Amino acid sequence: MNRHYRENGQIAVMMVLSIVAIIGFAALAIDGGMIYADRRNAQNVADASSLAGALSIVKGNKVISTVKSAAFARAAADGFDNDTTSNIVTVNYPYDGSSNYIEVIIQSKVDTSLVNVVYSGEIWNTVESVAHVIEDGPIFEGQALVSTSPHANPGIDFNGNGQIKITGGGIFSNSDANTPPSSISANKGATSGSVHVDGGSVSSVGYFREQPAGTIYPSPVAGAEPQGLPPVPEPVCGSPVNDPKVQPSQTKTIDPGTFKSITNKGHLLLKPGFYCLEGDFKSNGGIVEVDGPSPVPGSPTPGVFIFMKSGLFDLGGNTDVKLWAPMPNQVVLTTTDGEKQYDYAGMLIYASPTNSNVVYITGGSTVNYTGTIYAPASTCNVGGNSGNVGLLSSQVICDTIKTFGTAEIDINYDDSFLHIVPPAIESFH
């Protein structure tokens, strides 16, 4: 009889333990789902709230109370009213010492049903969202010559015997290369100071090498923070209309449009507007210029926007070039990222981020480029063996940059002629 009672007692204990386990699994399944759903909802609201505060910043209002009120109002509209009982909303602005960052933290109490059988405490979710406002300005503001590659060795390669003079802006290499030839490499045959920057700095993420020492003035400074690429949308191109070829001693004026290629050996005049190239844009001698008056500071004139969807850009070393970018509201195009309208004012040459063909900026007796040259996947070869490469009020931004030859390269950085990227907001948590 005692053995029978002991067995009955063991079965009862096992049943109780089994019931507790079943309740635990049920609590995990039911309340776990509730906790996960609440966390997702709180995160979505935190993201929306930080973006609401950031939007206030974009509109030019950086008053602390106004930015915070915008974030709190959005959270309250989505059910998180900061009552400190069921939810707590914290807005930190400025955040991380910057008035362009805002942080929103939401703590949300979860009403559970079964988990209290095995746990008596309250269940809270805590989520965070940070929004960063990227203000409008030129791509890589303050830099006239930029290599965007994060690892190229070298990112910028100065070669040849020509002088390079940059006024009003600096030089920046985004490469983290630390072994020869390094992030910035100078192997010049000219005298000391053959790369001269006036009004800007020379900086790189990785190391730099000068042969001989003093080739670059001022001396480069390594250890800069790596930079990401600002978003510049690609324009939608139409169907190719023709394949113009200009022969020697011939003068031809062409209208804006989409082209399989453009080849010039004579005198090519481009009417102001948008030119999309699905193949090469090449010239060997002759003249390539905008059909219209040149811009002057304070008096912009209609220019051209050349989009290299594919193919290389090479207006050879014997070609006289006079090209300038469009003025504001002249070239506003539909883009490939959601059918938006985008103003390409100040953008002279844009090689698609999927186009890795070389961009040649080479010098003849007279070469003038005014506007932003942006080729984030291309190597840009800049130089020539005679005359002057005059990048007037320009900015050259490429995956990698190589200079060559004996020509003098003059770059005058003036952001009034350059492409201005509109403000943007990025969110992370």
Mean pLDDT across 121-138: 93
How many CB atoms are located within 10 Å of the residue 33 CB?
A: 10
Q: Are residues 113 and 151 in the same domain?
A: no
Distances (CA, A) of 198 to 165, 213, 260, 290: 8, 18, 41, 29
Range of the domain at 395: 138-423
Distances (CA, A) of 387 to 197, 266, 317: 20, 19, 9
Q: What is the DSSP string of 270-304?
A: E-SEEEEESS-EEE-SSEEEESSPPPBTTB----E
CA distance 90 to 130: 12
Percentage helix, strand, coil for the chain under 3-state DSSP, each rounded to 5: 20, 40, 40
Q: Are residues 215 and 316 in the same domain?
A: yes
pLDDT of residue 191: 43
The residue among 133, 164, 188 that closes a domain is: 133
Q: Are residues 92 and 218 in the same domain?
A: no
64-67 long-range CB contacts below 8 Å, 24 or more apart? 64/93, 64/94, 67/93, 67/102
Q: Are residues 109 and 143 in the same domain?
A: no
The residue among 72, 99, 133 that closes a domain is: 133
Cβ 91 vs Cβ 68: under 8 Å = yes
In a domain, 144, yes or no: yes
Q: Are residues 175 and 320 in the same domain?
A: yes
Q: What percent of the chain has pLDDT over 90?
A: 64
Q: Are residues 167 and 265 in the same domain?
A: yes
| Residue matched to tokens 């049943």 | 15
pTM over the 0.85 mark: no
Mean pLDDT across 304-316: 96
In a domain, 142, yes or no: yes
pLDDT of residue 251: 97
pLDDT of residue 12: 57
CA distance 40 to 42: 5
In a domain, 172, yes or no: yes
pLDDT in tens, 14-43: 555 555 555 555 555 566 788 899 999 999
Residues in CB range of 134: below 8 A, 6 or more apart: 100, 230, 421, 423, 424, 425, 426
Q: Are residues 192 and 263 in the same domain?
A: yes
Q: Are residues 234 and 91 in the same domain?
A: no
In a domain, 294, yes or no: yes
Q: What is the DSSP string of 217-231?
A: ESPPEE-PPP-PPPP
Q: Are residues 343 and 278 in the same domain?
A: yes
In a domain, 34, yes or no: yes
Is the predicted pLDDT of residue 390 greater than 80, yes or no?
no
In a domain, 336, yes or no: yes
The residue among 133, 168, 202 that closes a domain is: 133
CA distance 210 to 213: 5
Q: What is the DSSP string of 395-416?
A: EEEEEEEEEEESSEEEEE--GG
In a domain, 428, yes or no: no
Q: Are residues 398 and 411 in the same domain?
A: yes
Q: Are residues 46 and 151 in the same domain?
A: no
Higher pLDDT: 327 or 116? It is 327
Q: How many structural domains does the chain have?
A: 2
pLDDT in tens, 321-334: 999 999 999 999 99
